[in-house]
Amino acid sequence: MNAFLQFAHDTSLGEFTRQNSWLFTLGLVLHFIGLCLLMGGMLAIDLRILGLIKRVPIGAVLALLPVAIVGFVLNLLTGIMFFCFDSFGYWSNPAFKLKMGLVLLAGLNALWFTLAAHRRLAATPSGFDTNAITKVSAAASLFIWFSVIFFGRMIVAFQGSSSLF
């Protein structure tokens, strides 16, 4: 693992970010924008699946999936930059490991949703309810993504006064 951490630290991206403090700050802003896009899209989709806004056709909220994906990709790219900035610091942080585990779990939940429910739900008219397993997936999605946000903030708490912030 140390070899991978050293590799990430030694990348030109890591070096460039450490040499230009404005880039880390810009990354934080972009990471927040990505989070807003991801959570905005997922919140609308998951709340509709849970039956809270039944008047809206599921197909209409599913049209927000590309917005959520753009947000996720933006967070992925800025997250890689943060990791390369201080790979050893992030990896030694328990909140970072929990956050990454939750992101993986969210990805598996999204994969299940894509393979098992997406097409069927896209054809669901307004006013109709979704089945129980799909509701469990939507509730899990909300819980997991809000937990990702929580542990993302906890990264700062566990870092204390390190060089990250």
Q: How far apart are the first and last CA of the chain?
A: 24
Kindly indicate the confidence band of residue 116, based on its pLDDT and cuts at 50, 70 and 90.
Answer: confident
Domain boundaries, the chain: 2-159
With beta carbons less than 8 A apart as the criterion, state whether 138 and 49 touch. yes
CA distances from 91 to 1, 106, 122, 142, 158 (A): 10, 20, 40, 25, 12
pLDDT computed for residue 160 by the predictor: 60
With beta carbons less than 8 A apart as the criterion, state whether 128 and 48 touch. no
Distance of CA 10 to the CA centre of its chain: 25
Residue 27 has pLDDT above 60, yes or no: yes
pLDDT computed for residue 99 by the predictor: 97
